[in-house]
Structure 1
Amino acid sequence: MSGALITAYRSFNKILKHLPVEGSLPEMLLRVIELTETTFNDRQTSILLFDKNKKKFMPFTNKNRNKTCRERFMINPAKIHFENVCSKKKIIISEHITTSNEYREYYSLKTINDLNSCYGLPIISSRNNVLGIIYSHCSQNSMLSDDEYELLEMAATVCSIAIENNIKQQELNHFASYDYLTNIWNRRAFYRHINKAIKNIKLKNEYIALYYIDINNFKNINDQYGHRFGDRVLRKYASKLQKFTNDKTGVARLGGDEFIIYSEVHTQIEANIKKMAILSELNHIEIDDIIVTASIGTYYIHASNIKDVNIDCMINHADMSMYKKKHLFHL
């Protein structure tokens, strides 16, 4: 093994050691690119990431270094067939990129970077799924040397670990903030976001409005129609309430059949209009010919009246308002 590869191995290990601390995928991938290029300075490196939602490969760009990453990018992702990459899972060769028509839009980059061919390896996950492709670009139509190929394999492995770590971290963050059944905020996330909203209205001299929603006779619904039907009701209500979310309004499930909404509003009139809109959305929900209703309680507070903020106290006020409405419902 050459001295350059030994140095590269050590550098890649340093990247992996910092992964749990730094954790930023763009920074990790950029360090892989820079390390690969430093080891063999006659080549340039680019990375394509597979977007599961769009079902295609997208060029990796770092927002802070967008220009640099874009100039490294030499492959047209529209020309890469995911099925072919998945089936081969081996080196991908794209030669003569400055004379082939499919790379016509990249011809100008030859003048900038003097690149003429490229070789890529799929970035494979621990479950053998394709996460992306890492490319090495060269000015000559020459195959990769053994050292260069090994370096590219190392880089692909480190990319795979970084990408999978990022996916797991996103999943953990989601589970920590979102209700597992309804996929809206849980109590912890609600408290975090309403604290930010309270700080915001203090700057703007506005109101915070709380809307506490409770499904009427939910226990009876569960007992009579079963918990699966009850879960469908909860998901239906969550999807209805989620329509109100925006940068000034947040929705959460506090637990059981209890939901809460906060909203930043200019006036109490605006808060009442929003309340009526919520009531209108929840007024008549029908699932399998069964009508389900809900009660809503409200609490408004102006920025000037918020001293030492007690969110639990605010929620309790809205809760008590809701129970008054529920009592009228049963009369």
Structure 2
Amino acid sequence: MTTTGRKARSSHQLQSPPSFQELTMEADTHASLSSYIDLLLDAICVVDKAGKFVYVSGGGERIFGYSGEEMIGKSMIDLVLPEDRDMTLQTARDIMSGRHEPHFENRYVRKDGQIVHIMWSARWSDSDQLRIAVARDITKRKRIEARQAALFAISEAAHAAEDLPTLFERIHQIIENLLPAASFSIALYDDAKDDVYFPYHAGNQVSPSLIDSTVHCAEVIRTGKTLLLLPKDINELRGLADTSSSWLGVPLKSQRGTIGAMAVLSHPDNPHYSDEDRELLQFVSTQAAAAIERKQLLDHLQHMALYDQLTDLPNRALFGDRIQSALSRARRDGQRLAVLYLDLNRFKFINDNYGHPVGDLLLKEVARRLEGCVRASDTVSRFGGDEFVILLENIASPANTAAVLKKIHQALNLPFVLGNHNIGIHPSIGVAQFPDDGDDDAQLLCHADHAMYRTKKSIP
């Protein structure tokens, strides 16, 4: 046989149709390959140009909760978490235009309502007009990353926040990134009053009567255990059947016990909270409790340094800061201010005859009455003993100061009922006006002090 003949025969053999046996072997190979693919933890997903699933491997049910038959024909975007849909559609358009996307991440809602984080590797087959992608469940990894990020952020907030309200707001922002919520609350337990109060609440509830957060936060604090109320639980509590929100409360535990609780209410159109969410929030709450307790301690120490422990009025140091600021404003805006120096006549006699506990009660009541005589923008301070100093800002004229002076005399001249004692006391008050009687705080205090002693000496 010639070489040409051999080549012709070889070409004929290549072009001849495969035998039945060969077709059977190929089909068996594909079926076997498909069964192998179904064993993968990752899911192979094929989506047509309209965005509908045309093929999903066995891993799809493990990831999405739907069987392959249930997913075929479904629109891919309908399973994506609403917050991620715009981003997902844009990425799909980019892939269909020819861009390979090896590490795209988004969130899907499983059949059971839980959120799953997916990392995709996807390509577009122009000849088949299909999008072929591999889906990997990275939910556990994302939860670990979220925990670490939240712990770091809360620790940073504990050092950076100027005060408790700022810290509460920052904790809310951190939790919002972990668990989207329609409302977020922090409840704290007041040991002295044996009461639960809410120093922070943000967000709008679906209905004000949806759930009594006070009752359930109190339960969380009392038991020291987390509480998860699913929609059916809330509906049973309300006697209705129209709620799709869930409520999750976790205790804030510190070294000295449970100091409060954090609570979140889910959006009605979002999946309800799960046991995994409960575990996540509880884990983060430990760090939040430490941050809150630390800020409480710092605030308490600062309060002790700036406020009188008996009357809780600003002390001499805080008064000094406030009068300096007030003088700066008065000079800048051309305003007047006044300083009143007050002393209680016969206070030593009351201490000696009725005892120091009664004297302390008297000083507390005097402080409350003085605060009732001035505006919120003014400052009533205790310098020590029975000496009080009052700063009146933005005074239009000396006549305004005289009106406040008269009000104070009327308030303090009324009897003080302290336990079984009915005590009368009269103040001596000296006044200094800015700018008439001095240009700085030292001059004004000195002038008011001397004026007070002159008044005291004039009393028979």
Q: TM-score, normalised by structure 2?
A: 0.57
Please say if 1:154 is aligned against 2:296.
no
Farther off after superposition, 49-58 or 85-94: 49-58
Bigger helix share: 1
Aligned to 1:96: 231
Secondary structure of residue in 2 paired with 1:254: strand
Deviation of 1:319 (Å): 0.6
Of 15, 30, 35, which aligns to 2:153? 15
1:83 to 1:263, Cα distance in 2 relative to 1, 3 A = closer
- In structure 1, runs of 5+ residues without a counterpart are 38-42, 62-68
Alignment-mate amino acid for residue 177 of structure 1: L
Which amino acid letter does the alignment assign opposite residue 402 of structure 2? N
Structure 2 stretches lacking a partner, 5+ long: 1-138
**1:136 and 1:49 mapped to 2: Cα distance?**
12
Aligned to 2:449: 319
SS in 2 for 1:261: strand
Mapped partners of 1:157, 1:207: distance in 2: 51
Offset from partner CA, 1:179-204 (integer Å, 9 cap, x none): 11111111112122222322333344
C-alpha deviation, 1:133, in angstroms: 2.9
Structure 1 position 171 matched with structure 2 position 313 = no
Query: CA 1:259 to 1:91, structure 2 compared with 1: closer, same or farther past 3 Å?
Result: closer
Deviation at 1:10, TM superposition (A): 2.7
Give the Å deviation of 1:20. Answer: 4.0
Matched, 1:49 2:186: yes
CA contact (8 A) 1:179 1:186 kept: yes
Deviation at 1:71, TM superposition (A): 7.3
Q: Which residue of 2 aligns with 1:65?
A: none
Q: What letter corresponds to residue 271 of structure 1 in structure 2? A: T
Q: CA offsets per residue over residues 182-228 of structure 1, 9 Å max, x none?
A: 11111112122222322333344332111111112333433343322
1:217-251 CA-to-partner distances (Å, cap 9, x unmatched) read 33343334332232223222212211123244211
| Aligned length in residues | 307
Change (3 A) 1:104 1:267: farther
Q: 1:225 is matched with which residue?
A: 354
Instruction: Go from structure 1 to structure 2 and tell me whether the alpha carbon gap of 1:25 and 1:104 turns closer, same or farther (over 3 Å shift).
Output: farther
Residue 60 (str. 1) matches residue 201 (str. 2): yes
Distance 1:167 1:106 in 2: 41
The structure-2 alpha-carbon separation of the partners of 1:248 and 1:44, relative to structure 1 and needing over 3 Å to count, comes to closer
* Range with greater deviation from structure 2 (225-234 or 93-102): 93-102
* Counterpart-to-counterpart distance in 2, 1:26 and 1:189: 25
Q: CA deviation at 1:314?
A: 0.7
Write the letter of the residue equivalent to 2:212: P
Could you say which residue in structure 2 is the equivalent of 1:188? Answer: 317
Is 2:376 aligned against 1:237?
A: no
Counterpart residue number, 2:211: 76
Q: Cα gap change, 1:223/1:79 in structure 2, threshold over 3 Å: closer, same or farther?
A: closer
d(CA) in 2 for partners of 1:326, 1:161: 52
Instruction: State the 1:97 CA deviation.
Output: 5.9
Flag the structure with more relative contact order, 1 or 2, with Cα contacts below 8 A and sequence separation at least 6: 1
Classify 1:73/1:123 alpha carbon distance in 2 versus 1 (closer, same or farther; 3 Å): farther
Comparing 180-189 and 281-290, the one that deviates more:
281-290
Is 2:275 aligned against 1:144? yes
Cα displacement (A) at 1:17 = 3.5
Distance 1:128 1:233 in 2: 36
Instruction: Tell me the distance in 2 between the aligned counterparts of 1:136 and 1:284.
Output: 51
Q: Secondary structure of the residue that 1:60 maps to in structure 2?
A: strand
Change (3 A) 1:56 1:241: closer
Letter in 2 for 1:15: A
Tell which deviates more after alignment, 252-261 or 19-28.
19-28
Say whether the 8 Å CA contact 1:121–1:134 is kept in structure 2.
Answer: yes
Q: 2: CA distance between counterparts of 1:157 and 1:85?
A: 14
Aligned partner of 1:210 in structure 2 is 339
Counterpart of 2:341, as a letter, is Y
Aligned to 1:29: 171
Could you list the per-position Cα deviations for residues 164-183 of structure 1 after superposition, in whole angstroms to 9, with x for gaps in the alignment? 23332332332232211111
> 1:268 aligned to 388, 391, 398, which one?
398
Per-residue CA deviation, residues 275-306 of structure 1 (Å, 9 max, x unaligned), is 22222222354452443222111111238x86
Question: What is the CA-CA distance between 1:99 and the residue it aligns to?
Answer: 8.7
1:40 corresponding residue in structure 2 = none
**Of the two, which has the highest radius of gyration?**
2
- Aligned partner of residue 48 in structure 1, secondary structure: strand
Query: When the two structures are superposed, what TM-score results if normalisation uses the length of structure 1?
Result: 0.76
For the 8 Å contact 2:220–2:261, the answer to whether it is kept is no
1:122 and 1:163, CA in 2 relative to 1: closer, same or farther beyond 3 A? same
CA distance in structure 2 between the partners assigned to 1:322 and 1:215 by the alignment:
11
